[in-house]
Structure 1
Amino acid sequence: MKKLISTLLFLFFCSALSAQENSQRILYIVDSVVIVDDPDENDQLEENDIEKLEVVTNPDRIKTAGYEGKMDKIIYVITKSYATRTDEIKRISTTKNMKRVNGAWYLKDSETPFSGRFIDYFLNGHIQGEGMLKDGFVEGVRTVYYPNGNKRYFYSYKKGIEDGPSEEYFINGKLKQKGSFDNEQEVGLWQVFYSTGKLKRQSNFVNKKQELSKEEKKFHELFSKGIVLMKAYDYTGGIKKLNEAIILNPDYADVYFSRGTAKLNSFDFDSAIADFDKAIELEPLYKEAISNRAFARLRKFEFKDSRTLSKSKEVTILVAKDNVPIPSEDLIKICADLNLGYELGDRSPMMIDARSRYCK
C-alpha cells in the first residue's frame, strides 16, 4: 500500500484491488466517491482540507454499504469544500462515480449512457474539471482546472471528438496555446506563447498539414535529432545538434532546456546552469528547467572530488556524496528552485527527497 497523504498524523489511501498488501482491507470514500485507484502525485489531500472523518469497522454498517466480506474498515472523508456546496451542485454527477464502456460514460448502476452535466473534483474537494455528456460522450466545451483553481485548458467536442476552438493556460492564468480542431485534426492558425505573453511559435494547418518555412523545418529537424541522440546517451552528439538549432532559433526555451539537460548528464554543471538560466529567462514558469537548475547546482557539490565507479563510451558513473555541505548563498538558490518546482507541480521522488534533505 502506498502512502499518499498525511493527515491526523498519518492517513493512507489504498484500493480494494490492492488490499492484500495490508493485513486490513481498508476502503476510502471521499465526498461520496469511492477511491479505487491511487491518486496522482498532484492530487493532494491535507489535514486542513477535511471537514469530517469517520472510521467504520462495524460489520453491519460495512454490510449495508455493500462491502460485506470485502472490507474490514471504511473511512469516510468529507472535505470542507464539499460541505460548502449547495445541494443542487452536489446532485451533479461526477465521472469518478461512472464506468466507461466502449468509450461512453455510464452511471455505475445504469445500462444507459449518461447525458447531462458533470463536475469532477480533486481529493481536496476543489473543482478539477466540468462539461456536458450526451449519450455518454463529451459534447461542447470541457474545461479542466489546476489545483489552485485557475483554468488549465478547455477543448471543444462533438460526440467525444475534439472539434472546435481550444485554449491552454499556464498555472498563473496566462494563455499558453490556442487553436482549433476539425474532427481531431488541427486546422488554421495555432499559436503557442510564453507565460510572459511573448509569442513562442505559430503555424498554419492546411489540409491536415502543418505549413513550415524551410528554416523552421531545419530547426525542428536539428532539435529532434538532438533529442534522439540524447536518449541514446550520446550527449556530445546531441549537444552539437542543439547548438546548430539554437543558431537558427535563439529564442526557443526548449532547446536550451534540452542542451542544459545533456550537459547536466555530462557533469558539465556550470554550463548546464547557464542553459537553464536562459530557458527560464524565456519561460519563467518552465517547471522542468527550474527543477533541473536546482539539481545542477546541487550536483556540483555532491560530485565534487567524486571518484569514477565505471566508464564507457556512452556513460560515465560517478559516486556522489550524500548530504554534502553547501555554502548558504548556493543553498538559498537551490531551495528557491526546488520549492518553486514543487509549487509548479514537480512531485517526483527526487524532488521530494532533495527538499527534505536540504531545505528544512
Structure 2
Amino acid sequence: MNKILACLLLIIFSVKCFAQTPNRVLYVVDGIPVVDEPKEDEQPRSDEIDWVKVVTNPDSIKQAGYGGKLDKIIYLNTKAYSQRTDAVKSIPSTKTMTRKNGLWHLKDAFTPYSGPFIDYFMNGRKQGEGVLKNGIIDGIRTMYYPNGNTRYFYTYANGVENGASEEYFINGKLKQKGSFVDKKQVGLWQVFYSTGKLKGESSFINNKQSVSKEEEKFYALMNKGLSLMQEEDYAAVIKKLDAAEKIKQSYADLYFYRGTAKLDLFNFDDAILDLDKAIAIEPLYMEAIANRAFTRLRKYQFKDSRTLSKTKEVTVLAAKDNVPIPKDDLDKICADLNLAYTLGDTKPMILDAMKEYCK
C-alpha cells in the first residue's frame, strides 16, 4: 500500500490523520472540510494527491470562514478533482449542504436545493450521485464502492422508494434486485451470490411475501436457530440448523451460523468446516471470512486449555498468550483477516489481530 500523505503530514505536523485534533487542525479536501475520520481505504494515497497547502496565519485562517478557533488549515486537492471539468466541479455535494427540516439547502440559501449532486470519497473518486427536487431525493440515487464499482441504486419519487432497485457486490456482480411502490416491496425479488448463482427469490403480492411450503419451513428453522443464538443455547442452534440443512443445502448463511455456534462451543475443527462451506458458496462472505480467521486463532489459543467454569449452556476456558501457530495456518489466518478488512470489516479486533499476527 502506498503511504498516505496525511500520515506523512502526521510526521511533520504532529497531528492525527484526517481528524480535528486537540491541536485544532482542519483538513479541507477538494474544497470540502473533513469532519468525520474516514476509513483507511477512503483516504487518498500519495499518488492520488495533486497538491497540499498549509495555512497557519491567524488572519488567513479567520478569513477562511470555517468558524471555531483553529491553529492550522491543511488544504489538499486530489488529482481526480483537478481533472474534473468546470461543469462537474460546479455540481454541489451534500457534504457542503445543510439539512433544515429534512430538506437539503445550499450553504446560506433560504430555499431548498433543486438539481444534481455528486458526493466524493476523500481520494476524489465518486461516492454517490443523484438529483434533489426541492431538497428531497427524486429519481435514481446511486452509490459506489471506493474501487469505483456501483454499490447500489434505488429509484425515488419525492423522497420515497418508488421503482427499480439493484445492489451489487464489490466485485461488480449483482447481489439483489427488485422494485418498490411507495416504499413497499412488490413483484419478484431476487438475491444472488457473488458467483452469480441465485441465492433465493420470492414474490410480493398485496404486501405479502409468497414462498413455498418447503422454504417456509426452512426459514422458520433458520429464524428459530437465530433466536436460540441470541439466547446462547448453541447446542440447540446446531440442532435447528441441522434440520434446516436437510431441506436446503446450498445456503451460505446456514453454514455461517452453524459454524459460529460450533466456534462458541470450542468445536474449532467442525466450525472451520462449516465456515469453509459458507465461503465456498459465497466467496465474499465478510463475516464468515473473519470468523474463520478467529476460529483458527482460538484453536491455538485454547489448545490444552483448562476449564475455568462450566454450565449446561456455557463453558469458559483459559486462553493462552503468545501461542505458536504453524506457518500454514498463520498464512490462512492473515489471508482471511486481510480479505475481511478489504471487504469492509474494520472492527478493532480485526485491526488488532492483523497488527499482532500479520506483521
Range of TM-score over shorter length:
over 0.9
Corresponding residue for 1:7?
Answer: 7
Q: Which residue identity does 2:322 align to in structure 1?
A: N
Counterpart position of 1:98 = 97
Partner of 1:257: 256
**1:113–1:135 CA contact under 8 A, matched in 2:** yes
Does the CA contact (< 8 Å) of 1:41 and 1:347 recur in 2? Answer: no
- Given that 2:27 and 2:76 are in contact with CA atoms closer than 8 Å, whether structure 1 keeps it comes out as yes
- The Cα offsets for residues 263-304 of structure 1, whole Å up to 9 and x where unpaired, read as 112211111101111111111111111111111112111111
Cα distance in 1 for partners of 2:207, 2:272 equals: 39
5+ residue gaps, structure 2, are 11-15
Query: Cα deviation per residue 1:190-233 (whole Å; 9 max; x = unaligned)?
Result: 00011111111000000111011222122111111111111221
SS in 1 for 2:331: helix
Looking at structure 1, the residues matched to 114 and 185 of structure 2 have their Cα atoms a distance apart, in angstroms, of: 27
Paired residues of 1:129 and 1:143 also in contact (CA < 8 A): yes
Does the CA contact (< 8 Å) of 1:14 and 1:36 recur in 2?
A: yes
Please identify, of 102-111 and 126-135, the stretch whose mean Cα deviation from structure 2 is larger: 102-111
Q: Deviation per CA, 1:235-262, whole angstroms, max 9, x where unpaired?
A: 1122221211221211110111011111
Corresponding position of 2:71 = 72
Distance across 1 between alignment mates of 2:272 and 2:111:
56
Deviations 1:123-153 (A, max 9, x none): 1111111111111111111111111101111
**1:311, CA displacement in angstroms?**
3.8
Counterpart-to-counterpart distance in 2, 1:98 and 1:235: 48
Contact 2:6 2:18 in 1 (8 A): no
2:150 corresponds to which residue? 151
Partner of 1:237: 236
How do residues 167-206 of structure 1 correspond to structure 2 at under 5 angstroms?
A: 167-206=166-205
Give the aligned partner of residue 300 of structure 1.
Answer: 299
Counterpart of 1:346?
Answer: 345
Contact map agreement 2:32 2:95 (CA 8 A) in 1: yes
The TM-score with structure 2 as length reference comes to 0.92
Match of 2:37 in 1: 38
Distance 1:187 1:68, change over 3 A: closer
> Matched residues in 2 for 1:189 and 1:195: separation?
19
SS across alignment from 2:17: coil
Using the alignment, how far apart are the partners of 2:136 and 2:18 within structure 1? 30
Following superposition, the deviation at residue 67 of structure 1 comes to 4.3
**What amino acid is aligned across from residue 253 of structure 2 in structure 1?**
D
1:123 is matched with 122
> Using the alignment, how far apart are the partners of 1:29 and 1:97 within structure 2?
11
Number of residue pairs matched by the alignment: 351
Q: Residue type of the partner of 2:296? A: R
Whichever residue aligns with residue 349 of structure 1, its letter is P
Deviates more, 1:198-207 or 1:219-228: 219-228
Give a deviation string over 1:83-111, Cα, whole Å, max 9, x none: 22222111111011111223221112112
For residues 86 and 160 of structure 1, the distance between their equivalents in structure 2, rounded to whole angstroms, comes to 29
- Unpaired segments of 5 or more residues in structure 1? none
Quick one: percent identity of the two aligned structures? 62
SS of structure 2 residue aligned to 1:12: coil
1:227 correspondence with 2:265: no
Structure 1 letter corresponding to 2:63: T
Q: 1: CA distance between counterparts of 2:272 and 2:68?
A: 57
Shift of 1:69: 5.2
Cα root mean square deviation, aligned? 1.9
SS at match of 1:248: coil
SS in 2 for 1:51: strand
Of 303-312 and 169-178, deviating more is 303-312
